[in-house]
Structure 1
Amino acid sequence: MSSSPLSPASPSPSASASASASTSQISFGPLSDNPSASHHLIYFITGNPGLIAYYDTFLRTLHELLPNISTSTASANNRVFHIYGQSLAGFDVDEQISAKSPSPLRESPYSLEDQIRIHLKALAEFRIQSGPRQGQLHDSVILIGHSVGSYILLEIIQRLRQHDSAPRIKAGILLFPTVTHIAKSPSGVKISTLFRIPNFPKRISTLVKALVWLLPKSFMERAVGGITRMPDDAAKVTTGFLRSRMGVWQALQMAKDEMETITEDRWDEDIWGIEHEEADYKAEIPKLIFYFGQNDHWVADHTRDALIAARAQTGGLSKSSKPIMLIDENGVDHGFCIRHSESIAEKVKMWIDTILSDL
């Protein structure tokens, strides 16, 4: 990650239907030499801790489920997809202090507002990256956000609607969203108490650094896996996060920012839509699909149910631009990317098919 809050990791061009990946970004681009193919960007926004590597299996599975090679003839379903996600700023596990660095490393965490601005800039610059339509805007953009990434998603939609030249956001898929009153959740109540300790995020970060650097990396990976019961790949990502220069501080400081910022429902009908409206008005509002967890420790049941009662659609899809709001019935955890990536990817693929069915 760049040290500037307005300079995200640049999307890497992908000339084939394969991944362009690093520790800070994952990119699956389509292969298409057909100028009639429609191009759709699936832009993913992580939760906190904001390491994109946690979502490798999820994004890879979604890539395998969606078409990535166009046919040579025109067809209503001749679509190709570019899937892209990057780590939130401040979570770079490869960042090293060097006298040869072109610019000094950032010495304080990024705020939630910084993260929103970074993703806005990345989306504004994103173009089709290969084939005969290289350099053009995508025909549609579908945002996917997880946890606080869902809050960032809603802010992006609201802010982009103020610009005529902005990318066309077709829809947003919000997975285990924390978009209102996160401090009232079970985990929010606990961590908010800790944030009353002066300079708690920096103090804990310093303590963690002192502990983890005494231990060999391989030992830490085994210990993290044993303590958390994470699969090996997630344990490796977590170990990298704990050993990174600023990751723990960034995660805790951002969590503090979330507790203070994510409170009341702050969006209007430009985001939420209305139950019955003219067709032209409905077409202008991105379709939103919320997928909540049961007994989610980061989302209080009563705040979730209040949001569903106030904002979810009650009519059919053809009659409403209001969000679809669903509650998981399969016991999937808030951190779905650790053990349930494949099943959630299958749901997301189904929702994408429905979203694009009218194109």
Structure 2
Amino acid sequence: MTPDALLLFIPGNPGLVEFYIEFLEHLHHTFNEAGVRLAILVRGHIGHGPSLPTGNGSWTVGLDSQVTSAIELYDSARDFYGPSTKIILAGHSVGSWIVTQVQSYCLVVNTTNEALSNIASTPNGRKLSWLFRHPIPTIVSSLSHLLTYPPFSILPYTLSYWPKFNNYPSDQLDIIKSLATSPHVVYSALTMAHDEMQTIGSLGSASSTVQATCERERSYIYACFAAKDEWVGDEVSDVRLMLDEHRVVVREDDVPHAFCISHSIPVSETCAQWIKEILVDRR
């Protein structure tokens, strides 16, 4: 049966689709109960699959290729479902930026906590950019390889006792363990982050496609920011000006940038409301 709409979701970095299962399941359940046939397609980033080893720990795919892959996936989905099915794109963090690069192809609901511009100047960008520069990704991925051998292999199983992770759900800890013990994923995530720092500039820069996209398609784009997000700089007010104000949400709750760890439901409910608006408006 042909769906009423297809949600094509692009994750943040690391781009493991497993992080978003609860978020997407809740979305699907919400529309299923309402009698709306919503199909969901999630595109993990190339090179970010722990279960798909590359055989070469230093192999990686750049940000430009990730964008090209997303465009190709959209084209394939459009060819498969035809013009009667609305395609809605959603992204988290750098996934939101990738969505803006595909924007000219389709209706977009640009959702969740974003990293749309100038990542290198954000608090986390300034603190962590050294981690993404050569040769650090090679060194860190080599250390990740050690976690597959005793006695270091015990370390991933102690994550629940670390202060940062002691409140994480067990299924999310399992995903982090699989990431930490997959050298090719660690390398791909770190080198892609370096590309993000180099590529995603400020909204007003000549090379920024985000501002042009937001201004041209402002009635199709929705954006959600955490109240406190160290992956987002001081350009939230600029986004408010570029988009219809009621489509920009700055959350007042405790939902963090990495909402998919333990705050999937409230973000899913926000996105569900936006998707309902899109489906009603485009009938």
The answer, yes or no, to whether TM exceeds 0.5 is yes
Choose 1 or 2 for highest CA Rg: 1
- Residue pairs, 1:1-359, within 5 angstroms: 32=1, 39-67=4-32, 79-96=36-53, 107-126=58-77, 136-158=82-104, 160=105, 169-195=106-132, 198-215=134-151, 219-227=154-162, 228-229=165-166, 230-265=168-203, 266-267=208-209, 271-273=213-215, 287-300=220-233, 302-309=234-241, 311-313=242-244, 324-358=247-281, 359=283
Q: 1:95 to 1:313 in 2, by over 3 A?
A: closer
How does the TM-score come out when normalised to structure 2?
0.87
CA distance in 2, matches of 1:138, 1:85: 20
Q: 1:231 to 1:193 in 2, by over 3 A?
A: same
Q: 1:202 to 1:106 in 2, by over 3 A?
A: closer
Give the number of the structure whose residues are more often helix, by fraction.
2
2:185 partner amino acid: G
Kindly indicate whether the alpha-carbon contact (under 8 Å) linking 2:123 and 2:230 is maintained by their aligned counterparts in 1. yes
How does the TM-score come out when normalised to structure 1?
0.70
CA distance in 2, matches of 1:44, 1:110: 19
CA distance in 1, matches of 2:219, 2:89: 10
Structure 1: runs of 5 or more not aligned: 1-31, 71-78, 98-103, 130-134, 161-168, 275-283, 318-323
Structure 2: runs of 5 or more not aligned: none
Higher relative contact order (CA 8 A, sep 6+): 2
Q: 1:194 to 1:236 in 2, by over 3 A?
A: closer
Q: 1:42 to 1:329 in 2, by over 3 A?
A: same
CA distance in 2, matches of 1:268, 1:329: 25
- 1:250 aligned counterpart, secondary structure: helix
Q: Percent identity?
A: 26
1:115 partner amino acid: Q
- 1:214 aligned counterpart, secondary structure: coil
Kindly indicate whether the alpha-carbon contact (under 8 Å) linking 1:213 and 1:243 is maintained by their aligned counterparts in 2. no
Kindly indicate whether the alpha-carbon contact (under 8 Å) linking 2:218 and 2:244 is maintained by their aligned counterparts in 1. no
CA distance in 2, matches of 1:307, 1:285: 10
